[in-house]
Amino acid sequence: MSAVTNLFAFSLTVLFILLLRPLATWLGIVDHPGGRKRHEHSTPLVGGLGLFLGLVVTLVCFQIAIPSPTAYFGATILLAVTGLLDDRFDLPARFRLLVQVAAALIMILGGDLVVGDFGDGFGIRFDLGPLAIPFTIFATVGLINAFNMLDGIDGLAGMVSISVLAVLGLWAQFAGATEVANLAYLLLFAVGGFLLFNLRLPWRRRAAVFMGDAGSMVLGLSFAWMIVALIQPRHGGVAPMAAFWLVAFPILETANVIIRRKCKRRSVFTPDHEHLHYIFREHGLSINRTVLSISSIALAMAGFGVVGGALKSPDWLMALALLLTGILYYRIVDNLTLNRDDATDCPEKKAVERQKV
């Protein structure tokens, strides 16, 4: 795939966002401050929609080969429309969950993409058998929501995505999974176009647009799509546990938040400030430093998966490493939150936060 194609996706995303921004207020697709939301200005929620349109139009115009394109278009359109409606009307969580399950089924049944096993361990093949489809649905829905949870501060979801997409694209290319690499690179440039409006830059102290559910859900599904495709023999045959490390950070962050909410007897769907990006902010890091720190962590974890895959590390060892990393991650976050004041109850921290860039 040529650089021209990637630049087209980047430019088209920028163009769509510029066109959608003035329409956002008229359509009511705007995120207003208040409650748990810490931003101080109403902001259009069309960044993700612009990203999605830039990606899809590029795929169609250049007829770029990706894994199961028809199914991919169907699933992502379903999520983009649902996300847009959710940004406008705040749909019930259960309805969004049903739509996410439907998108996962499109991937499995229409795209013939399923996690069939966890690889080899001690000479045994850990085949999922009849649990393959339920597990793939669970993992896909989990990843969709993981990226939705990452979209909490300016630039975070986009920078984490770019970090992982760069690693994923290179790995897929070297593994001979050209179709996966095509999708990864196109997404990388489309997300780059979105970040022009979402990052805090020297000449702009706040995001011009937010990603919204339309973008975060499409991103989450796209990552699931590429990783499940990457472990298929026809698309590269990468070791499953090594491939899962590509999205280790979103997985561990989501698991950590869910466990902490359950320990506090809260619904897993109840928004709070248990995310790592909020914790970093409450410890004094600026928005940009928080984004850089977390995207670096995500990049390091993805890189570990690549190294493990290149060294042909046993799947059981990669799985054990992921489990131990998850435990360590939970303990570190637990220590960071020890004696932490809730920012929503601390006017002094609110004042400091408003002054930080």
Chain segment 223-251, per-residue pLDDT in tens? 999 999 999 988 878 999 999 999 999 99
Mean pLDDT in residue range 282-291: 92
Contact 1, 182 (CB under 8 A): yes
Categorize the per-residue pLDDT at 357 as very low, low, confident or very high, splitting at 50, 70 and 90: very low
Using CA atoms, how far apart are residues 223 and 184, in angstroms rounded to an integer?
8
What residues have CB less than 8 Å from 33, skipping those under 6 apart?
A: 39, 40, 41, 42
Q: Nearest CA to 163 among 287, 298, 55?
A: 298
Q: What percent of the chain has pLDDT over 90?
A: 73
What residues have CB less than 8 Å from 269, skipping those under 6 apart?
A: 93
- pLDDT at residue 303, rounded to an integer: 97
Using CA atoms, how far apart are residues 337 and 357, in angstroms rounded to an integer?
22
Q: Nearest CA to 41 among 156, 210, 199?
A: 210
Mean pLDDT in residue range 61-77: 96
Number of domains in the chain: 1
Domain that holds residue 210: 3-355
Does residue 349 have a pLDDT over 60? no
- Give tens-digit pLDDT for 169-178: 999 999 999 9
Q: How many residues does the chain have?
A: 357
In the three-class reduction of DSSP (H, G, I as helix; E, B as strand; rest coil), residue 301 is classed as helix
What residues have CB less than 8 Å from 335, skipping those under 6 apart?
A: none
Side chain identity at residue 192, one-letter code: G
DSSP bridge partners of 34: 37
Task: Classify strands 124-127 and 117-121 as parallel, antiparallel or unpaired.
Answer: antiparallel
Contact 221, 79 (CB under 8 A): yes
Identify the residue whose tokens are 């990226």. 147
Give alpha helix (H) positions in 28-128. Answer: 47-62, 69-89, 93-105
Side chain identity at residue 320, one-letter code: L
User: How many CB atoms sit inside 10 A of residue 311's CB?
Assistant: 10
Output the six-digit token pair for 241. 């546990």
Distances (CA, A) of 137 to 92, 134, 221, 235, 305: 20, 5, 11, 20, 22
Q: What are phi and psi of 127, to 5 degrees?
A: -80, 130
- pLDDT at residue 345, rounded to an integer: 44
Contact 67, 225 (CB under 8 A): yes
Report pTM. Answer: 0.91
**Range among 29-38, 179-188, 312-321 rated most confident:** 179-188
Distances (CA, A) of 273 to 40, 132, 199: 17, 34, 21
Identify the residue whose tokens are 């408003």. 354
When mean pLDDT is compared across 66-75, 219-228, 269-278, the lowest value belongs to 269-278
